[in-house]
């Protein structure tokens, strides 16, 4: 019987092949904190975009593009924080993530695509072009939350 720590390290090594580098000895709790932090920064940048689309904040094209580009850059980064055996602490991740890994990965890829398209659309400076891309981004967030986040 492998210890929980050995299983985590083995999973981390496997994750390393799949995604990216996790240092040996990284605690599962730190992995959870990492992925939650990336989502927090994504949401932080999405906030003003929501406000601008709703008309609660003046539309500032440069500010909109800056934040959409940040979201696009960040969207590739949570996936490496979903290592197996990291359903610990105050994680809101559902176990279904690891049972439906291919679908989860596809939904994360959808977020990357939607945020890149939003950054691109924002360059038009035209809300008629921006709003559909904005809705697609919100939809990509929601699609994943519906299936994979406890809330
Ligand atoms: C946000 C935020 C989310 C998404 C989601 C979209 O502003 O923090 O998690 O939008 O609510 O459906």
- Cα–Cα distances in Å, from 80 out to 36, 65, 103, 112? 12, 26, 15, 14
Q: Which long-range contacts (CB under 8 A, 24 or more apart) does 64-68 make?
A: 64/122, 64/130, 65/119, 65/122, 65/123, 68/115, 68/118, 68/119, 68/122
Both tokens assigned to 145: 């939350």
pLDDT at 86 over 60: yes
Interval between CA 72 and ligand 1 midpoint (Å): 15
The whole-number pLDDT of residue 24 equals: 85
Instruction: Between 19 and 118, name the one with better pLDDT.
Output: 118
Interval between CA 50 and ligand 1 midpoint (Å): 9
The whole-number pLDDT of residue 25 equals: 86
pLDDT band at residue 88 using 50, 70 and 90 as cut-offs: very high
Q: Which of 56, 78, 115, 142 to mutate to test the pocket of ligand 1 (most atoms within 8 A of CB)?
A: 142
The whole-number pLDDT of residue 122 equals: 98
- What whole-number distance in Å separates Cα of residue 68 and Cα of residue 32? 24
pLDDT in tens, 45-71: 999 999 999 999 999 999 999 999 999
Within 10 Å of residue 72's Cβ, how many Cβ atoms? Answer: 22
Both tokens assigned to 21: 């580098």
- 3-class secondary-structure state, position 60: coil
Both tokens assigned to 6: 């050995």
Residues 87-109: what's their mean pLDDT?
Answer: 98
The whole-number pLDDT of residue 105 equals: 98
Interval between CA 71 and ligand 1 midpoint (Å): 12
Instruction: Tell me if 20 sits within 8 A of 67, measured CB to CB.
Output: no
The whole-number pLDDT of residue 23 equals: 86
Does the beta carbon of 34 lie inside 6 Å of ligand 1?
A: no
């Amino acid at each position: 019987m492998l210890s929980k720590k050995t299983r985590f390290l083995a999973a981390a090594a496997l994750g390393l092949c799949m995604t990216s580098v996790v240092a040996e000895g990284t605690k599962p709790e730190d992995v959870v904190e990492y992925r939650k932090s990336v989502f927090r920064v994504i949401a932080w940048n999405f906030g003003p975009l929501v406000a601008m689309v709703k008309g609660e904040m003046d539309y500032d094209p440069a500010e909109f593009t800056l934040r959409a580009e940040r979201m696009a850059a960040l969207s590739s980064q949570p996936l490496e924080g979903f290592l197996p055996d990291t359903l610990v602490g105050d994680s809101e991740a559902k176990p279904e993530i690891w049972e439906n890994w291919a679908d989860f990965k596809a939904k994360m890829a959808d977020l990357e695509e939607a945020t890149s398209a939003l950054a691109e659309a924002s360059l038009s400076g035209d809300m008629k072009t921006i709003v559909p891309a904005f809705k697609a981004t919100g939809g990509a967030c929601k699609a994943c939350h519906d299936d994979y986040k406890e809330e």
